[in-house]
Amino acid sequence: MSKAVEVFSLLTDFDIELFRAGKHFRLYEKLGSQTIYLDGRQGVYFAVWAPNAQVVSVVGNFNGWNPHSHPLNVRWDGSGIWEGVIFGIEMGEVYKYHIQSFSGSHVEKSDPFALMTEIPPHTASIVSTTWYQWNDEKWMRHRNVNNSLNSPISVYEMHIGSWIRDPNDPERLLSYREVAEKLVPYIKNLGFTHVELMPIMEHPYYPSWGYQVTGYYAASSRYGSPQDLMFLIEQLHKNEIGVLLDWVPSHFPGDDHGLRNFDGTSLYEHEDPRKGFHPDWKSYIFNYGRNEVRSFLISNALFWLDRYHVDGIRVDAVASMLYLDYSREEGQWIPNEFGGRENLEAVHFLKELNEAVYANYPEVQMIAEESTSWPGVSRPTFSNGLGFGMKWMMGWMHDTLNYFKEDPINRKFHHDKLTFSTVYAFHENFMLPLSHDEVVYGKQSLIYKMPGDEWQKFANLRALYLYMFTFSGTKLLFMGGEFGQTSEWNVNQSLDWHLLDYAPHKGMHQYIKQLNEIYKSEPALYEKAFSGDGFEWLEYGDNDNSVLAFIRKGFIPSSDVIIALNLTPIVRQDYRIGVPESGNWEVIFNSDDISFFGSGMETPNAKSEQIPWMHKANSIKINLPPLGGLILKKTT
């Protein structure tokens, strides 16, 4: 007679050694629920890390949630892993781990390695698989070029549940497959190179936007199965669109079924709240000094790159990880061993994370949302950097938005907000973000941050976008910004797609499409995106007229372009600009074009004169449109 739980293990002695050393980065192949064949029978192998448990059992509908029916076997090696095979369970079975701790407490926990969960508010794990017949070989073979730091990267950031809803039932969330049908042609038409999905890992509280994760290995069941998400990613890949995922290794919520107090002790989090509790988000901070926790997290990053073919990971809230005193008052934090505020364990984790990712997937990008001046975030670990590929340029974002909020009559007093960023622009590989954080909680939508009447608001926003797309660095724009969404983002409803019926919004939509097109077609706008060699000011001191002019440079001098911005509603006739070479300079892009809801002011091409200007031997005179800008390129 067979036992309820058969003794079996997928783990080798080497697996255990790696796990305990914090060096096992493929734990998802070993832990969780794995369908196996043993002695000619199909069963499910369960394995869970709970070193301080007295008893661990698998409970579910299959045994009436009886904690005494299917106890797992604890390994003999002191690893704290409980495991075993249960026959008669099939795909789709719901389960949890019933854990009795040495203190006598009893808890039911979701599987930290579950590939799928019940749809919230239900919390059970589901026996599932990430098997999928992928059909994106062409993209995967060539994505090293598409993800290269020398290639154009224009990212459309989106929340999958509020991008679009069913018009006939606005409360219903569309599935991954339904979203794919609408999103893929939309992004392809607009010309974005990548989509960034706000966290789609399972989270119990929908208004958290996905940033309070309980199921790190489970794609949210709100939108379908793992294979449905894979279909969405595959369709994007087949249309030459990369996929980035938001990822949250900085903290996790305290829900009873989640990671907190997992085996009756602070297993994943620090026990001391001065290191283990986040005061802002009322959540729990991972113990980065624990080897097994680092294995859990690094395995999770590689899991999404491996099983879901994603092209990069944007790591959320890096600053909160780096500083022990982040958002804490004196006496609420513990200094490191040298008496400093740096979280040395988190620094070690981030370096190890990036080394592991780039060693296994050198063609992807790791991107840090880091809001301080921590040095070397996007520099290699061998030169004492954190090892990310890119970092969000938060200072640029704040300064730029603060400038454009000003009435144009006052902008001459704030000119340095746009020029200061070049002081540090090349210290990191920066991505310029206009993200979801800027259009919520009373901050207003981007279009309503702009001063003036309706025409001026749209002209200002077009000028801001031109500045963003031509400034050094890669680009990120949150959904709705591409057509001038008027209301703040609301996670509980669709974007206001009806606005595209109106000329200003339709013009903005066309404008973003054309901006993406020229960004991708002009090498000077992306080839030296992170090098001072790719940027040169021509005019940065004309405060009185609020005019800026600069050169963007590519690998070949003939590809260089000039950008000129007039950030007042006053037309600047015959404005003189120095040019690097004599010849004819063609206006190849005009933010004031009538097709963009601009005024359509004439800006004829210009022939250079031998009049020294702006430290150049030659110069041109050009008409600068109101609240607008031009891109010029030498033709002959």
Nearest to 354 by CA among 409, 418, 429: 429
Rounded CA-CA distance 533/333 in Å is 43
Tokens of 26: 């493929």
Closest alpha carbon to 257 in 125, 105, 127, 89? 125
Euclidean distance between CA atoms 525 and 470, whole angstroms: 6
Q: Which one, of 595, 591, 597, lies nearest residue 625 by Cα?
A: 591
Residues ≥6 apart with Cβ < 8 Å to 474: 152, 153, 154, 155, 390, 430, 431, 432, 526, 529
337: left (phi over 0), alpha (psi -120 to 50) or beta: alpha
The SS3 of residue 12 is coil
Identify the active-site residue in 196, 369, 370, 539: 369
For residue 437, give every residue at least 6 positions away whose Cβ sits within 8 Å of its Cβ, in sequence order, or none. Answer: none
State how beta strands 628-634 and 584-590 pair: antiparallel
Rounded Cα distance between 46 and 44, Å, is 6
User: Cα(286)–Cα(207) distance, rounded to whole angstroms?
Assistant: 22
| Torsion of Cα atoms, 307 then 313 then 317 then 322, to 10° | 100
Which H, E and C letters describe 286-331, residue by residue?
ECCCCHHHHHHHHHHHHHHHHHCCCCEEEECCHHHHHECCCCCCCC
State yes or no: is 369 an active-site residue: yes
Contacts for 181 with CB less than 8 Å, ≥ 6 apart: none
List 316, 438, 592, 593, catalytic entry: 316
Q: Which two tokens stand for residue 161?
A: 């549940």
The answer to whether 316 is a known catalytic residue is yes
DSSP code string of 497-544:
GGGGGSHHHHHHHHHHHHHHHHHHH-GGGTTTTT-GGGEEEEEEEETT
Alpha helices in 409-453 (DSSP H): 416-419, 446-449
Count Cβ atoms below 10 Å from residue 133 Cβ, excluding itself. 7
Termini Cα distance of the chain? 89
Instruction: Please give the DSSP secondary-structure letter assigned to residue 486.
Output: -
**One-character DSSP codes across 359-405:** HH-TTSEEEE---S--TTTTS-GGGTS---SEEE-HHHHHHHHHHHH
201-206 — which CB contacts under 8 Å span 24+ positions?
201/247, 201/248, 202/117, 202/120, 203/120, 203/253, 204/120, 204/121, 204/123, 204/253, 204/255, 204/257, 204/258, 205/120, 205/253, 206/120, 206/161, 206/491, 206/492
List C-alpha distances in Å: 262 to 56, 271, 534. Answer: 11, 12, 51
Which of 67, 68, 70, 65 shows the shortest CA–CA distance to 85? 70
| Catalytic residue annotation | 316, 369
